Amino acid sequence: MDVLERVGRIGAVDVELDHEPVPVGQVVTGSPATGSRALGSFDGHEVGVWEMTPGAMSDVEADEVFVVVSGRATVEFVETGAWLLLGPGDVVQLHAGDRTIWTVTETLRKVYLG
């Protein structure tokens, strides 16, 4: 039984996360750290909370939809040069294989379905 099934409600801003430094090969600037916690599943997809502290990192995305609950960042799509400005309440869809650069200016927390 997952956390969501057991309690039925979780405050996404209150979920405790253990942060780890971003691997050196992914750091673009600063000393960002990330933390995540799976909360359960929905229709075969994982639901969880993810957070990144200020700094910039490169990543390769998985298929995911998320909602920003706090913080500010930009996500640049390496292949196209397109970018998104993220803040609380934004809903975003990412696609598997997209190479991105996340630049966080205020610790960003999101709830994801992936």
pLDDT, one tens digit per residue, over 61-72 is 999 999 999 999
CATH of the domain at 30: 2.60.120.10
Residue 78 falls in which region: left (phi positive, over 0), alpha (psi -120 to 50) or beta: alpha
pLDDT of residue 3: 63
Domain count, the chain: 1
Share of the chain above pLDDT 90, in %: 83
Q: Would you say 39 and 3 are in contact if contact means Cβ atoms under 8 Å apart?
A: yes
Give residue-wise pLDDT tens across range 43-101: 899 999 999 999 999 999 999 999 999 999 999 999 999 999 999 999 999 999 999 99
Give residue-wise pLDDT tens across range 9-18: 778 888 999 9
Q: In terms of residue numbers, what domain contains 56?
A: 3-113
Residue 1's pLDDT band (boundaries 50, 70, 90)? Answer: very low
Q: Would you say 75 and 101 are in contact if contact means Cβ atoms under 8 Å apart?
A: yes
Half-sphere exposure of 49 toward its Cβ, with a 13 Å CA cutoff?
20
Backbone dihedral angles phi then psi of residue 6, each to the nearest 5 degrees: -70, -45
Give residue-wise pLDDT tens across range 14-45: 899 999 999 999 999 999 999 999 998 888 99
